[in-house]
Amino acid sequence: MATTIASALFSSNSRLPAGRELQRRAFNPRASSSSISLKEDIVIVGAGIAGLATALSLHRLGVRSLVLEQGDSLRTGGTSLTLFKNGWRVLDAIGVGDELRNRFIEIEGLVMRSEDGRELRSFLFEEEAPGQEVRAVERRLLLETLSSRLPLNSILYSSRVRAIKKQGTGDTLLELEDGTEMLAKIVIGCDGIRSPVAKWMGFPEPKYVGHCAFRGLGLYPAGQPFKARVNYIYGNGLRAGLVPVSQTQVYWFICFNSPTPGPRVDDPSILKNQALELLRNWPSDLLDVLHNTPDDVVIKTPLVDRWLWPCFSPPAVANKVVVVGDAWHPMTPNLGQGACCALEDSVVLAGKLAAALKRGNDESVEAALRSFGEERWGRMFLLTARANLVGSLLQWDNPVVCGFRNNIVIPWFVRLAPFLEHTNFECEFLEPVAST
């Protein structure tokens, strides 16, 4: 049976009472560890997909953790994300697959079109990639489902990390902006592409790749008209996509070339008008989805990534601090693998960590964390590079090259099965174990 490290690493482990009513005490570096406001065995920074999935994976293995979230509630903004079979494999392993599966349409295949509406190629997954499972999932529902399976008070909101400091004992001191000081044996950074944890570990800022994306969610209360297929539409330096989410929702995206990310615009109505202007003469079904999109669900993001170069990039682990998901390997969305890889990370890390905690010593824990980084590095490096390359090819803006792509490459040379080979991922079902 998996056990926590409470007895081995802390003689006592303070938990959070309801409402986070705590007596805060200022940290004095000369004082004993008993003067620290909070002591936790495992602290997860960030309540996004990676953070919640890691916490739930650990919970199912009987390992307790505390999640710090800088917002005052779950970050349910954003639109939708596409999960392939590797993502669903993890969701099944942590016990939420069927609950989510029943809410979203299974995508049967994909259609590739040119900007004038002409069909270039179409595929059915059952014929070209048997066993593939693709669904677009609302980010909000995914986060709410993951968080609902965690024990009460597993997430501490309004907890932005201001500073990270290693202690002489080998523990990590997390200083929060509200003055709280928390001592943790293990810190798991799941705090996104601008991760303070990754920055503290020496990772560079993610690099802008030369194109931005608009995203939104079209609403059809009387029922959306699309078949259960992904629609990709290609132009010159511009592409778009439609993915049915449910009977009443359709996710869409637009990627466009831009030498810089441009000024930040927070008004979603302006973003919607900018998106419509880009697609002025594109297929009417795509424009219809945009027109059926409420202003407040349109977002624009510059696309970035970080390549984990061998011998140059820092390791994923340093002194029992580890980074997971976008905090470690932000990648462009061209393969639809950002969320899937974060889910993979969570279950792999939890399995290695739970096994190490059974042995109850620091050496086993450190070895497990290093093993996680070494095992995942190669896959993450290749997928990040591949996603970048695919995006570069699809964002061609030379008319002659784009004509060659649309009339020769896509109709005659594109194959679906090799393109989806990276979605092959196996993990064991995590049998629930009572936490102690």
Q: Are 68 and 159 within 8 A, CB to CB?
A: yes
Stretch 270-285: mean pLDDT: 96
Confidence of residue 431 (pLDDT cuts 50, 70, 90): confident
Query: What is the reported pTM?
Result: 0.91
pLDDT reported for residue 25: 29
Task: Label the pairing between strands 38-45 and 181-189.
Answer: parallel
In the chain, pLDDT over 70 holds for what percent of residues?
91
pLDDT above 60 for 29:
no
| Domain boundaries along the sequence of the chain | 6-77+143-205+307-388, 80-141+207-305+397-421
pLDDT of residue 241: 97
Q: Has residue 8 got a pLDDT over 70?
A: no
- Residue 168: which pLDDT band, with cuts at 50, 70 and 90? confident
Predicted confidence at residue 36, as pLDDT, reads 66
Per-residue confidence (pLDDT) for residue 435, from 0 to 100: 55
Structure tokens at 126: 């059952």
* pLDDT band for position 334 (cuts 50, 70, 90): very high
CATH of domain 6-77+143-205+307-388: 3.50.50.60
Q: What is the pLDDT of residues 192-244, one digit of tens each?
A: 999 999 999 999 999 999 999 999 999 999 999 999 999 999 999 999 999 99
Question: What's the mean pLDDT when you consider all of the chain?
Answer: 91
Beta strands 80-83 and 135-138 are antiparallel
Which of 24-38, 82-96, 278-292 shows the lowest per-residue confidence on average (mean pLDDT)?
24-38
CB 422 within 8 A of CB 335: yes
Residue 13 has pLDDT above 90, yes or no: no
Is 18's pLDDT higher than 50?
no
Mean local confidence (pLDDT), 33-52: 86
DSSP β-ladder status, 66-68 and 155-156 = parallel
Spatial distance between the Cα atoms of 248 and 323, rounded to a whole number of angstroms? 37
Reported as half-sphere exposure (CB side, CA atoms, 13 A), residue 187 has a value of 31
Lowest pLDDT segment from 102-106, 168-172, 326-330, 366-370? 168-172
Least confident span in 14-28, 281-295, 400-414: 14-28
Question: Does the pLDDT at position 9 exceed 80?
Answer: no
Q: How far is it, in rounded angstroms, from Cα 354 to Cα 351?
A: 5
Q: Hunting for tokens 């990310």 — which residue is that?
A: 261
| Cα separation, 352 vs 365, whole angstroms | 9
- DSSP annotation of 31: S
**Hey, what CATH class is 80-141+207-305+397-421 in?**
alpha beta
- What number is the average pLDDT over the span 343-367? 95
pLDDT of 361 strictly over 90: no
Q: Strand, coil or helix: what is 218?
A: strand
Tell me the three state secondary structure of residue 385.
Answer: helix
